[in-house]
Amino acid sequence: MTEPLLSVRDLQKYYYEQDTFVDTLLGRERQSVKAVDGISFDIEPGETLGLVGESGCGKSTTGETLLRLREATGGAVEFDGENVFEMGSAELKAFRKEAQIVFQDPFSSLDPRMTIGDIIAEPLRIHDMPVDPGDKSKREWRRDKASELLARVGLSATQLDRYPHEFSGGQRQRIGVARALALEPEFIVLDEPVSALDVSVQAQVLNLLDDLQTEFGLTYLFIAHDLSVVRHICDRVAVMYLGNIVELGPTDELFESPKHPYTEALLESVPRPSTGEQGRRVDALSGDVPSPRNPPSGCRFRTRCPKVIPPGDLNIDQEAYRAVMDLRDALVVGDVNPDHIWEAADPERVDEEAFIEEARARHVDVELRGAVASVVDAALGHLADGDVEQTQTVLRETFESPCEIRRPGVGDTSHPAACHLYEGSDEVEVIETTADAPVSADD
């Protein structure tokens, strides 16, 4: 097996909020945003690894942190066998030549006051390249290189003295790619390079990236929120959810036999042109992504997972279990207000049965039966007394899921999935955590 070009181990990036001197004076507690929380992957030379997930799951932070454009909170990144986070300034400068980034927004990533020629040549100027310009001046050499690159990305060398606003989105993205190629890098982070472009233009830019990869032997980390975009360009795909990688596998395998319920839901969300659903996002994923400020304990996807695992001794169907779990989550985040329920059920606050009925109508949207209904009603009885904590305790005693107690991590097989459904296989490494506590001790 070849050595990976890039090796990421347990990478963490937390942003800190309420962290200023004034916050300290006002006694505000520093809050961490766990944007990337312990992810690992390798990228082989010449490979394209896709990194996909919904907005805010930490994709850009991953790309920028591994390039050391942001300081990591923890973990390690090796590039060509060198530890990126321990590089001194000379090594870092050399690394910055080898590893480039193309940003999503071709409208804001190019300086509007610079000509295209200067934009493409800028990295060469910063690195004082070339060492030997031959019989040209360095400036002439760089200008020639810029026109060569412009032609290579499909634009005309005669456009060198124009400004970014004179180009379309697709053309600007080509200019961004030419700029990234100027230093002849080995590795490029492509951060949603086609998301801002029309579908027809997307295909052209993707083809260009594919051709350039073959021609220059490039290695890519391709970031996208849309699975359909990565299918044709990536060799392998890593799926990210709330700062964690939940599944990683060869592209075809991941598309044809997804393992993680989140990957399955993402795939169901991809619009299908053949069924006339083009342009429409099918909402297979219910609920919002929880905040990375206080991510759920255990598996981070459990608050939205359609396959969340009930305790072994509980006989309950998934729909009812999801409804009870949603009620429990709503209690945790303070979305259940007993006063409002009393006002609607019985302002005199006497009829507990009416309270329970109203609470169920508001917060449990399926019909519960038998023992399950009895436990939920008993818990809601405590809510009627205003005792939210006891309500939560009663529900937890019966309904606590293995998914909320322990966090599954990805193993290191060729197609691992971080899900308790695969527990017992070597695809899952279980990380012990405490229920109801933040997933990891960060601060």
Ligand X SMILES: Nc1ncnc2c1ncn2[C@@H]1O[C@H](COP(=O)(O)OP(=O)(O)OP(=O)(O)O)[C@@H](O)[C@H]1O
Instruction: Enumerate binding residues for ligand X (CB under 6 A).
Output: 15, 33, 35, 53, 55-61, 225, 292
Secondary structure (3-state) at 310: coil
CB of 411 to ligand X, least distance (A): 24
> Is the Cβ–Cβ distance between 168 and 198 less than 8 Å?
no
Q: 3-class SS at 347?
A: coil
In the complex with ligand X, which residue's Cβ is closer, 56 or 154?
56
For the chain, the straight-line distance linking the first and the last C-alpha, in angstroms and rounded, comes to 39
**Distance in Å, CB of 16 to ligand X, minimum:** 8
CB nearer to ligand X: give 4 or 292.
Answer: 292
Strand-pair partners of 222: 50, 190
Residue closer to ligand X by CB (options 44, 105) is 105
Can you read off the two tokens belonging to residue 256? 């044809």
- Check the CA dihedral 147-99-194-13 and report its sign: negative
Dihedral class, residue 411 (left if φ above 0, else alpha if ψ from -120 to 50, else beta): beta
Nearer to ligand X, 182 or 418 (CB): 418
Residue 232 token pair = 């044709």
Closest separation between CB of residue 68 and ligand X, Å? 15
Cα separation, 426 vs 422, in Å, equals 8
User: 36 vs 336, which CB is nearer to ligand X?
Assistant: 36
Cβ proximity to ligand X, 11 vs 299, nearer residue? 11
191 versus 400: smaller Cβ distance to ligand X: 191
Q: Please state the closest distance from residue 238 (CB atom) to ligand X, in A.
A: 12
Instruction: Find the shortest distance in angstroms from Cβ 292 to ligand X.
Output: 5
Q: 431 has which bridge partners?
A: 407
Indicate the residue among 229 and 405 with the shorter CB distance to ligand X. 229
Q: Helical H runs in 116-247? A: 116-126, 138-152, 169-181, 199-216, 227-230
Shortest distance, CB of residue 62 to ligand X, whole angstroms? 7
Closest contact distance (angstroms) between CB of 240 and ligand X is: 7
Give the separation between CA 323 and CA 80, rounded to whole angstroms: 49
Question: Rg of the chain's alpha carbons, rounded to an integer?
Answer: 26
* Tokens encoding 225: 């929120």
- Shortest separation between residue 195's beta carbon and ligand X, angstroms: 8
Residue 200 CA, chain-centre distance (Å), reads 25
Cβ proximity to ligand X: between 11 and 212 the closer is 11
Strands 31-43 and 99-102: unpaired
Reduced to 3 DSSP states, what percent helix, strand and coil does the chain have, rounded to the nearest 5? 40, 20, 40
In the complex, the smallest distance separating the C-beta of residue 74 from ligand X, rounded to whole angstroms, is: 16
- How many angstroms from the chain centroid is the CA of residue 137? 45
Q: 367 near 359, Cβ under 8 Å?
A: no
| 3-class DSSP state of 225 | coil
